[in-house]
């Protein structure tokens, strides 16, 4: 087992929110560790290949990277000065409350026996991001069908195009970003298939204003599509992906305001990749583990509830970026800054950011949130999906459970909520623990009587004691003897003579620490 | 012992709880109110029935099934969903191997026979499987008591085959070498408890006209002039009934107090570890001889023993910890690490398997380790069917059968005296 | 409120290494056949670049699967790397000489059926030797009074 690291601030997630928070807190004098699962910081948005292999990427760096580059330069200075430590390729799989917080980490998948890492932190900033939101359709499990995020990550992180001919489909402005990434890398985009009506956004100028920068960016994407003669099919939906061992085409059709297909508008688009997404689902596993209040965001997904200091409801825990509700990279940067400053202030430090600027940032957060909400209202994720999806459609990819089996559990076996459906069908019990299918299963259940009940059952599904699977051998090694096994204060745990263990303290007060009084050096 | 509700919809009985009810919804590391949307199959509660069964877990389902088959009109109510409490947290073991000779083993043997009948009635969907149990001893000191127990069990009709150390790999190839020996119990079965519960309730509904209303909480019990049960008050209305069956599992103690016939049922927490899906590396339910000592112990402190078994879905389930910590639902990674360590010691191959999830559940524990089955002499019309600790899935059919006999005043297949709710002293029933 | 500077856009960076020092190129193996890779690429990217779109089949229906979420969430792209099954191809960087294997079902090697008696009932090809050695050792300790493996 590796030693226990003790820090003032543990920032989880190396995207824009996490980097901004880490830099802000470290510049204020806090001892900071930034933990990220990827080999290089940047998150999904600023994804790049690992250091030393940048030339893999085909596109050209643009001026819009400056905001992140600036942060990263400051981060490198802090790292060089020993004031900030980055743990790349490291995933926090469990977060436990208390004083200090206890985070358990692991490395990559290659070695299930690799020891568990322990991190004790006085404050925690959750910047865990989001993943693409999916609603199943026939053929969505065919190889070649992937999320928009997957297509982007391939290009940005590995310099590889996902295929020769890509259909980008689903809803939301992210579809344009995916298409633009593919086009700039020299890829061919067959069509962008948008289920909603983007120009509705223009009817809400007051909400648009704060997002002007992003609107301009979207206009740029649109121009790029025109330049490459990419078909943009608004109010069109993917009906199914077809193919034998992999996707060969997608069938799309025009839909009305309720998402119903207009007869005679079906058409088949040949492709070898379908990049699909309906927006994003915030990663809230660690927030739920820590007991932070999680509510329903404007896009219907879970979102960590935060105040204007990004405090997440549990003293010492802050959340920033997509985990507090999907809002884009600029919002994430600003929230990260606010969270980092607030975490430092909680430790009795004075953040370098002055109060006026901080207040302006907080107002900016509010404006960008309004813009994000407007986007979510403009690009809803197929409200009529549950009524239309046919019984043969796969819902849970891991355990191979169809919509028909979920419906049978509901109508035949009396399941009224996603958890009971899971227990009866195994939907959501596989490798991904329902991260992909949770929303689909929830929608196939009887509707909750009120929003609070809806949030409750979403939360129940979002409760995952492990944020990522852990090798049993690694877990076993956490069991004593040892000075600091998996639990605070647990002593050596040798076998007792009778073969039966004696009583063992389940919880003892944490040892006094040198750094109790002030920030770590 | 009020306040926090356990994780993810555990409550079975209709019991007032101090836990959060609505609004706000702090996730609370498992402290959110897990109750799903109230939903009634029938829309409305019936006005009057022959019997109300509180609890839609496996025991309530078996009771409802047996009562409905006996011709009674039955209403099953549960505060949570079907199989949402301890049933949904269990591994589905139907064991004779871990039963002390005497009344519990009698119940287990009757149950085993009935489970085979249920298996035929419910069909393959309930995943009833005669997987067999293998109890192993690490050293001679553990082997001798194991053999003694097996001998006593044999005298009561259990098939228990002594296994020499060199025979162990033929039964379980991945078992660590160097064990002292074991006993193989071919009668040990497994069932998918949630499916079995839902299917039993469906059968009770379809064949016997039983009604099942979930999301319905019992908040009071009406009593007649003679103190007898006359009705059940729920948050969705009142139902007139002469018979109340307490099948509220871990929450049976609370319901019993509400009904005026307290029985001492307490939660005893256990964790289950669930691995990634694996090929059939582990063929039987395998556990160490220490497990029996822990089951029989009264100690409130943490006890762990090694219980490992595969499931039809490929995941391997690992237990078993026992501790009396109230209804505290949180993860305790020191317990989980210990369970992992012991499983890996017995099955080294598991070291490289990943843990996908872990969860806790609460066994309904009775101080004398016997379930509470039968009429409560303090409250005419009140019948208990709870307190099965970790054996509720296995003992459910016999419990339902005996309970139905008691309610309908027929001769039970086993004498009820050992399980009687009237066996407790006044001091126990708190 | 005036709009602040536009957010950066998700575009890959321009090359920062001098020309002529191309990315480190190496080979990995997929089911024994060589596949080219470059430093910094994920296993999934290497396989897709080689035209491989699927590298596992599912447990129940035997359906082909490949990359799906691309960021480590869905566990659909599981593959065997260096003898370890169920490694996420999308978040695992390829390393020189990686032995990558497509996988079926659980991804684990199928156990040898339990037959015969004693330690001869093997434990599968991988690790068989190791297990046999372990057996001997364990048997030795058992004779000396038993190992309390199961406390």
Average pLDDT of the segment spanning C62-85: 97
Give the number of other Cβ atoms within 10 Å of residue A492's Cβ. 9
pLDDT at A50: 64
For chains B and C, CB pairs below 8 A equal 101
The region of weakest confidence among A63-67, B45-49, C117-121 is C117-121
Report the distance separating Cα C64 and Cα B376, nearest Å: 59
- In angstroms, what separates the C-alpha of C13 from chain B's closest C-alpha? 36
Average pLDDT, whole number, for chain C?
71
Average pLDDT of the segment spanning A378-396: 94
Residue contact A109–C24, C-beta within 8 A: no
Residue contact C117–B167, C-beta within 8 A: yes
A44 has pLDDT over 90: no
Token duo for residue B289: 């001889």
Instruction: Please write the tens of the pLDDT for every residue from B206-229.
Output: 988 999 999 999 999 999 999 999
Instruction: List CB contacts (< 8 A) between B173 and chain C.
Output: 111-112, 114, 121-123
pLDDT at A51: 59
For A:365-404, CB contacts with B below 8 A are 399
Tell me the pLDDT band of A208, cut-offs 50, 70 and 90.
low
Average pLDDT of the segment spanning B133-154: 94
Average pLDDT of the segment spanning A359-388: 88
Identify from A16, A49, A158, A301 which residue to disrupt to test chain C contact, counting C C-beta atoms within 10 A and taking the largest count.
A158
Residue of B nearest to A454 (CA): B37
pLDDT at A262: 94
Average pLDDT of the segment spanning A203-230: 77
Of all residues in chain C, what percent carry a pLDDT higher than 90? 56
Token duo for residue A70: 């600036």
Token duo for residue A439: 């929303």
Identify from A146, A148, A246, A274 which residue to disrupt to test chain C contact, counting C C-beta atoms within 10 A and taking the largest count.
A146
Taking a C-beta distance cutoff of 8 angstroms, is the pair B370, B418 a contact? yes
For A:198-237, CB contacts with B below 8 A are none
Residue contact C147–B167, C-beta within 8 A: no
Taking a C-beta distance cutoff of 8 angstroms, is the pair A339, A34 a contact? no
Spell out the alpha helix ranges (H) of A28-161: 66-80, 148-153
A481 has pLDDT over 60: no
Sign of the dihedral defined by the CA atoms of residues A470, A475, A476, A477, in that order? positive
Average pLDDT of the segment spanning A299-306: 92
DSSP B323: B
Token duo for residue A322: 């997509």
| DSSP count for chain C of H helices, then E strands | 2, 8
A55, A112, A141 member nearest C65 (Cβ): A141
Average pLDDT, whole number, for chain A?
86
A244 touches chain B (CB under 8 A): no
Rounded to the nearest 5 degrees, what angle is found at the Cα of B214, between the Cα atoms of B208 and B218? 100
Instruction: Please write the tens of the pLDDT for every residue from A403-434.
Output: 999 999 999 999 999 999 999 999 999 999 99
In the three-class reduction of DSSP (H, G, I as helix; E, B as strand; rest coil), residue B327 is classed as strand
Average pLDDT of the segment spanning A193-216: 73
Nearest to B50 by CA among B33, B34, B72, B71: B72
| DSSP count for chain A of H helices, then E strands | 15, 22
Of all residues in chain B, what percent carry a pLDDT higher than 90? 78
DSSP B28: T
Instruction: Please write the tens of the pLDDT for every residue from A323-371.
Output: 999 988 889 999 999 999 999 999 999 887 777 887 888 888 888 888 8
pLDDT at A77: 95
Length of chain C: 151
Taking a C-beta distance cutoff of 8 angstroms, is the pair A431, C85 a contact? no
Average pLDDT, whole number, for chain B?
88
The better pLDDT of the pair C111, A464 is held by A464
Give the number of other Cβ atoms within 10 Å of residue C50's Cβ. 16
- In angstroms, what separates the C-alpha of B341 from chain C's closest C-alpha? 10
Report the distance separating Cα A364 and Cα A323, nearest Å: 18
Tell me the pLDDT band of A206, cut-offs 50, 70 and 90.
low
Residue of C nearest to A69 (CA): C8
pLDDT at B430: 47
Beta bridge partners of B354: A471
Spell out the alpha helix ranges (H) of B172-310: 193-208, 252-258, 290-296
For B:97-136, CB contacts with A below 8 A are none
pLDDT at C4: 37
A110, A209, A329 member nearest C82 (Cβ): A110
pLDDT at A491: 32
Average pLDDT of the segment spanning B238-262: 97
Tell me the pLDDT band of C106, cut-offs 50, 70 and 90.
very high
B25 has pLDDT over 50: no
pLDDT at A511: 33
Tell me the pLDDT band of C149, cut-offs 50, 70 and 90.
very low
The region of weakest confidence among A202-216, C26-40, C118-132 is C118-132
Tell me the pLDDT band of B299, cut-offs 50, 70 and 90.
confident
pLDDT at A202: 64
Which helix (H) or strand (E) segment holds residue B417: the answer is none
Burial of A514 from C-beta contacts in 10 A (0-12 / 13-18 / 19+): exposed
Report the distance separating Cα A389 and Cα A394, nearest Å: 10
Sign of the dihedral defined by the CA atoms of residues A117, A126, A171, A62, in that order? negative
A54 has pLDDT over 60: no
Report the distance separating Cα A114 and Cα A109, nearest Å: 9
B65 has pLDDT over 80: yes
Burial of B219 from C-beta contacts in 10 A (0-12 / 13-18 / 19+): middle
In the three-class reduction of DSSP (H, G, I as helix; E, B as strand; rest coil), residue B274 is classed as strand
Taking a C-beta distance cutoff of 8 angstroms, is the pair A253, A265 a contact? yes
Token duo for residue B266: 């307490």
The region of weakest confidence among A195-209, B48-62, B82-96, B199-213 is A195-209
Residue contact A452–B357, C-beta within 8 A: no
pLDDT at A21: 97
The region of weakest confidence among A42-56, A82-96, A286-300, B79-93 is A42-56
Instruction: Please write the tens of the pLDDT for every residue from B325-371.
Output: 888 878 899 999 999 999 999 999 999 999 999 999 999 999 999 99
Q: What subunits touch chain B, counting only 3 or more CB pairs under 8 A?
A: A, C
B301 has pLDDT over 60: yes
Report the distance separating Cα B96 and Cα B108, nearest Å: 6
The region of weakest confidence among A477-486, B49-58, B241-250 is A477-486
Instruction: List CB contacts (< 8 A) between B341 and chain A.
Output: 475-477, 479
Instruction: List CB contacts (< 8 A) between C146 and chain B.
Output: 138-141, 178, 180
pLDDT at B23: 30
For tokens 């790397």, name the residue: C81
Sign of the dihedral defined by the CA atoms of residues A328, A333, A334, A338, in that order? positive
In the three-class reduction of DSSP (H, G, I as helix; E, B as strand; rest coil), residue A471 is classed as strand
Query: Rounded to 5 degrees, what are φ and ψ at A221?
Result: -60, -45
Instruction: List CB contacts (< 8 A) between C86 and chain A.
Output: 109, 431
Residue contact B180–C146, C-beta within 8 A: yes
pLDDT at C126: 35
Identify from B164, B178, B284 which residue to disrupt to test chain C contact, counting C C-beta atoms within 10 A and taking the largest count.
B178
Residue of A nearest to B143 (CA): A499
Q: What subunits touch chain C, counting only 3 or more CB pairs under 8 A?
A: A, B
pLDDT at A98: 78
Give percent helix, percent strand, percent coil of chain C, each to the nearest 5: 15, 20, 60
Average pLDDT of the segment spanning C119-124: 33
Average pLDDT of the segment spanning A27-44: 92
The better pLDDT of the pair A91, B294 is held by A91
pLDDT at C18: 40
- Is the N-terminal amide bond of B365 cis, ω within 30° of 0? no
B3 has pLDDT over 60: no
Query: Rounded to 5 degrees, what are φ and ψ at A97?
Result: -75, 180
pLDDT at A207: 65
A412, A463, A503 member nearest B202 (Cβ): A412
C132 has pLDDT over 80: no
Instruction: Please write the tens of the pLDDT for every residue from A499-508.
Output: 333 333 222 2
A137 has pLDDT over 70: yes
A431, A449, A456 member nearest B25 (Cβ): A456
Tell me the pLDDT band of A496, cut-offs 50, 70 and 90.
very low
Instruction: Please write the tens of the pLDDT for every residue from A242-287.
Output: 999 999 999 999 998 778 899 999 999 999 999 999 999 999 999 9
pLDDT at A350: 87
pLDDT at A239: 97
Average pLDDT of the segment spanning A204-211: 64
pLDDT at A221: 87
Q: Would you list the DSSP string of B41-90?
A: SSSS--SB-SEEEE--SHHHHHHHHHHHHTT--EEEEESS-TT-SGGGGS
Tell me the pLDDT band of B427, cut-offs 50, 70 and 90.
low
C112 has pLDDT over 90: no
Residue of B nearest to A294 (CA): B27
pLDDT at B327: 85
pTM of the predicted model, to two decimals? 0.86
Nearest to A456 by CA among B5, B255, B251, B218: B5
Distances (CA, A) of B267 to B5, B247, C20: 12, 14, 69
Residue contact C148–A495, C-beta within 8 A: yes
Report the distance separating Cα B210 and Cα B188, nearest Å: 31
Instruction: List CB contacts (< 8 A) between B34 and chain A.
Output: 419, 456, 460
A50, A110, A156 member nearest C12 (Cβ): A156
Count CA atoms within 13 Å of residue C49 on its CB side.
21
In the three-class reduction of DSSP (H, G, I as helix; E, B as strand; rest coil), residue A25 is classed as helix
Beta strands in B343-422 (DSSP E): 354-365, 372-375, 382-386
Tell me the pLDDT band of A311, cut-offs 50, 70 and 90.
very high
Tell me the pLDDT band of C143, cut-offs 50, 70 and 90.
very low
Distances (CA, A) of A406 to A133, A403, B90: 19, 5, 22
Instruction: List CB contacts (< 8 A) between A65 and chain C.
Output: 8-9, 11, 13
């Amino acid at each position: 087992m590796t030693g226990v690291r003790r820090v003032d601030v543990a920032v989880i997630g190396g995207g824009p929110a996490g980097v901004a928070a880490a830099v802000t807190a470290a510049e204020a004098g806090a001892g900071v560790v930034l933990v990220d699962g990827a080999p290089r910081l940047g998150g999904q948005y600023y994804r790049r290949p690992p250091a030393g292999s940048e030339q893999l990427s085909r596109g050209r760096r643009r001026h819009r990277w400056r905001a992140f580059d600036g942060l990263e330069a400051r981060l490198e200075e802090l790292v060089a000065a020993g004031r900030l430590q980055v743990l790349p390729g490291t995933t926090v799989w469990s977060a436990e409350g208390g004083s200090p917080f206890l985070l358990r980490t692991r490395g990559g998948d290659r070695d299930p026996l690799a020891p568990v890492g322990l991190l004790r932190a006085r404050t925690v900033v959750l910047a865990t991001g989001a993943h693409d939101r999916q609603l199943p359709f026939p053929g969505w499990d065919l190889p070649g069908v992937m999320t928009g995020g997957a297509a982007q990550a391939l290009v940005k992180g590995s310099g590889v195009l996902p295929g020769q001919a890509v259909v980008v489909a689903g809803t939301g402005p992210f579809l344009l970003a995916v298409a633009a990434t593919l086009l700039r890398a020299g890829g061919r985009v067959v069509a962008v298939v948008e289920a909603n009506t983007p120009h509705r956004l223009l009817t809400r100028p007051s909400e648009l204003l704060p997002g002007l920068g992003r609107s301009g960016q979207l206009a740029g994407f649109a121009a790029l599509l025109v330049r490459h003669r990419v078909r943009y099919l608004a109010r069109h939906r993917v009906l199914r992906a077809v193919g034998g061992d992999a996707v060969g085409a997608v069938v799309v059709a025009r839909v009305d305001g309720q998402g119903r297909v207009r007869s005679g508008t079906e058409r088949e688009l040949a492709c070898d990749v379908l990049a699909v997404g309906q927006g994003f689902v915030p990663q809230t596993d660690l927030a739920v583990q820590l007991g932070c209040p999680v509510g329903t965001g404007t896009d219907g997904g879970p979102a960590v509830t935060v105040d204007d200091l990004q405090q997440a409801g549990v003293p010492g825990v802050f959340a920033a970026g997509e985990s507090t509700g999907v809002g884009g990279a600029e919002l994430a940067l600003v929230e990260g800054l606010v969270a980092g400053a607030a975490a430092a202030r909680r430790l009795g430090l004075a953040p370098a950011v002055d109060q006026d600027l901080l207040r302006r940032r907080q107002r900016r957060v509010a404006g960008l949130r309004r813009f994000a909400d407007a986007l979510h209202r403009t690009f809803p994720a197929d409200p009529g999906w549950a009524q239309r999806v046919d019984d043969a459609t796969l819902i849970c990819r891991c355990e191979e459970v169809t919509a028909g089996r979920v419906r049978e559990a509901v109508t035949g076996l009396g399941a009224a909520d996603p958890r009971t459906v899971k227990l009866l069908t195994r939907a959501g019990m596989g490798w991904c623990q329902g991260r992909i299918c949770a929303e689909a299963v929830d929608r196939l259940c009887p509707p909750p009587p009120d929003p609070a009940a809806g949030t409750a059952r979403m939360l129940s599904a979002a409760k995952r004691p492990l944020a990522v699977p852990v090798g049993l051998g690694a877990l076993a090694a956490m069991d004593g003897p040892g000075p600091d096994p998996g639990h605070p204060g647990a002593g050596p745990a040798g076998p007792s003579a009778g073969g039966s263990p004696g009583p063992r303290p389940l919880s003892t007060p944490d040892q006094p620490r040198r750094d109790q009084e002030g920030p770590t050096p | 012992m009020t306040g926090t509700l356990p994780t993810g919809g555990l409550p079975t009985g209709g019991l007032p709880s101090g836990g959060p009810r609505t609004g706000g919804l702090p996730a609370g590391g498992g402290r959110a109110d897990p109750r799903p949307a109230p939903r009634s199959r029938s829309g409305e509660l019936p006005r009057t029935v022959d019997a109300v069964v509180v609890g839609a877990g496996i025991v309530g389902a078996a009771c409802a099934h047996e009562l409905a088959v006996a011709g009674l009109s039955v209403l099953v109510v549960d505060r949570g969903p079907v199989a949402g409490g301890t049933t949904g947290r269990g591994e589905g073991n139907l064991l004779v191997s871990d039963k002390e000779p005497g009344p519990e083993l009698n119940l287990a043997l009757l149950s085993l026979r009935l489970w085979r009948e249920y298996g035929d009635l419910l069909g393959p969907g309930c995943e009833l499987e005669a997987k067999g149990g293998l109890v192993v001893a690490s050293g001679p000191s553990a082997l001798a008591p194991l053999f003694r127990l097996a001998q006593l069990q044999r005298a009561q009709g259990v098939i228990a085959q002594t296994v020499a150390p060199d025979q162990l790999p033929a039964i379980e190839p991945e078992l660590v070498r160097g064990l002292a020996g074991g006993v193989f119990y071919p009668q040990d079965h497994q069932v998918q408890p949630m499916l079995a519960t839902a299917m039993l309730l469906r059968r009770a509904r379809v064949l016997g006209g039983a009604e099942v209303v979930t999301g319905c909480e019992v908040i009071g019990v009406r009593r007649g002039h003679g103190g007898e049960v006359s009705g059940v008050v729920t948050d969705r209305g009142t139902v007139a009934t002469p018979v109340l069956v307490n099948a509220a599992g871990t929450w049976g103690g609370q319901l019993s107090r509400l009904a005026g016939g307290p029985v001492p049922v307490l939660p005893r927490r256990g964790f289950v570890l669930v691995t990634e899906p694996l090929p059939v590396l582990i063929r039987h339910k395998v556990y160490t001889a220490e497990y029996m000592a822990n089951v029989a112990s009264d100690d409130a402190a943490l006890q762990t023993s090694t219980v490992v078994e595969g499931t039809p879905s490929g995941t391997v389930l690992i237990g078993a910890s026992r501790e009396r910590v109230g209804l505290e639902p949180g993860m305790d990674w020191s317990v989980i690490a210990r369970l992992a360590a012991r499983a890996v010691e017995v099955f080294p191959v598991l070291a490289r398997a990943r843990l996908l999830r872990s969860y806790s559940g609460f066994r309904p524990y009775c101080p004398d380790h016997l379930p509470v089955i039968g009429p409560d002499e303090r409250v005419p019309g009140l019948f208990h069917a709870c307190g099965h600790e970790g054996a509720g899935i296995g003992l459910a059919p016999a419990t339902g059968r005996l309970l139905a006999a008691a309610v309908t005043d027929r001769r039970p297949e086993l004498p009820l005296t050992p399980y009687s709710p009237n066996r407790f002293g006044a001091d126990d029933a708190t | 409120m005036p709009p602040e500077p536009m957010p950066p856009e998700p575009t890959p960076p321009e090359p920062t290494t001098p020309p002529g020092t191309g990315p480190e190129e190496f080979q990995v193996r997929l089911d024994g056949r060589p596949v080219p890779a470059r430093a910094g690429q994920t296993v999934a990217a290497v396989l897709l670049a080689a035209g491989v779109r699927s590298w596992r089949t599912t447990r129940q229906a035997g359906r082909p699967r490949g990359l799906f979420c691309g960021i480590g969430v869905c566990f659909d792209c599981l593959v065997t790397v260096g003898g370890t099954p169920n490694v996420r191809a999308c978040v695992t960087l390829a390393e020189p000489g990686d032995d990558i294997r497509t996988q079926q079902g659980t991804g684990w090697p199928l156990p040898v059926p339990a037959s015969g008696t004693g330690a001869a009932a093997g434990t599968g090809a991988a690790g068989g030797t190791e297990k046999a050695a372990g057996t001997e050792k364990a048997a030795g300790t058992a004779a000396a009074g038993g190992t309390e493996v199961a406390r």
